[in-house]
Amino acid sequence: MHRFDYFAPTTVAEAVNILRSQGEGGKVIAGGTDLVPQMKERGRHPKYVVSLNRIPEIQGIEVRNGQGLRVGAATRCWAIRNHPVVVEQYNILAQGAALIGSIQTQNLATIGGNVCNAIPSADAVPAFIVAGAQARIIGPNGQRTVPLEEVFVGPNRTILAPDEILTDLLIPAPLPRSAGVYLRHCPRKELDIAIAGVGSYVQLDEAKATFTHARICLSAVAPVPLRAPRAEAALIGKPATAETIAAAAQVAAEEARPITDMRGTVEFRRHLVKVLTERTVTQSVEQIRARA
């Protein structure tokens, strides 16, 4: 590993100021589970790194009664998967976080790192997107809040300027009679990268018979985590039956934009999207119907 300077600010304002004043060639570091291997083995040599680990304002989960959650960008995946309110009311977020590496990895890995590393197979990202997350970003010119799906530009590329920091993810309160599920397919059960993944979040009407809302996000089948708007439209207003779900899953497979690589072919990935969409939507419906 090459030499670099290390900064450990205690506020976001201080961190942004360091990034602005030190200029090009810096990197933010949170858990380091993506960045450190890149620095050791993959030719990334930042001049300096700015750690987020001593900034309390971007750590932890705030339950904003009736108004959803605020998840600090430097919150560890282990804390997300084990938070009682997340597990109970926002379970899809816990599912995404729980798939990241091993328990040891999750103790370091942050949600902000999963977002900002911006790989198409990031597991927590589709879960947060279908839960309706907004990303708050702070830089020298102030703050902006954008839908999480709009953060991604391409593999390892986001809309963040080099002197901006992702500070929080804001998740709205769950809709009544709604549920979400994220599933991925990997050759190995753990410590592997998804060949494809699907997060689905649906709402049913009062009779629990018709879809009234749907969000679907596909991972590892496009340069960015990909919303599937035509598949969502194929559910909304339709009876919540196996036939409707199978038809929407077929549409999702058509909306995917996969490539063939060492992990899988275009055809295999489309097949996985179909199967995983069918499973995630079906399981979400089952969860809603199982509730009193």
Ligand X SMILES: Cc1cc2nc3c(=O)[nH]c(=O)nc-3n(C[C@H](O)[C@H](O)[C@H](O)COP(=O)(O)OP(=O)(O)OC[C@H]3O[C@@H](n4cnc5c(N)ncnc54)[C@H](O)[C@@H]3O)c2cc1C
Q: Residues in the site for ligand X, rule: CB under 6 A?
A: 27-35, 52, 73, 77, 99-101, 105, 108-110, 112-114, 116-117, 122-123, 160, 165-166, 191
* Helix boundaries (H) for the chain: 12-22, 35-41, 77-82, 84-89, 91-98, 103-108, 111-117, 124-130, 229-235, 242-255, 266-290
CB 165, min distance to ligand X, A: 4
Tokens describing residue 31:
């858990």
CB 117, min distance to ligand X, A: 4
Identity of the residue, 95 or 117, whose beta carbon is nearer to ligand X in the bound complex: 117
Strand order through the sheet with 69-72: 61-63, 69-72, 165-171, 134-139, 142-147
CB 292, min distance to ligand X, A: 34
CB 88, min distance to ligand X, A: 23
Residue 124 phi/psi, 5-degree rounding, is -80, -20
Rounded distance between C-alpha atoms, residue 264 and residue 168, angstroms = 34
Rounded distance between C-alpha atoms, residue 89 and residue 179, angstroms = 9
The CB-nearest residue to ligand X is 113
Alpha-carbon distances of 93 from 71, 115, 131, rounded to whole Å: 10, 13, 8
Angle between helical axes of 242-255 and 266-290 (0-180°, round to 10)? 140
Identity of the residue, 106 or 178, whose beta carbon is nearer to ligand X in the bound complex: 106
Contact 248, 234 (CB under 8 A): yes
Identity of the residue, 163 or 232, whose beta carbon is nearer to ligand X in the bound complex: 163
Identity of the residue, 139 or 210, whose beta carbon is nearer to ligand X in the bound complex: 139
Identity of the residue, 116 or 171, whose beta carbon is nearer to ligand X in the bound complex: 116
Tokens describing residue 252:
């999702």
Question: Residue for token digits 């993944």?
Answer: 197
CB 282, min distance to ligand X, A: 24
CB 166, min distance to ligand X, A: 4
Identity of the residue, 261 or 267, whose beta carbon is nearer to ligand X in the bound complex: 261
Identity of the residue, 43 or 66, whose beta carbon is nearer to ligand X in the bound complex: 43
CB 45, min distance to ligand X, A: 13
Rounded distance between C-alpha atoms, residue 225 and residue 89, angstroms = 23
Tokens describing residue 38:
């890149």
DSSP code for 98: H
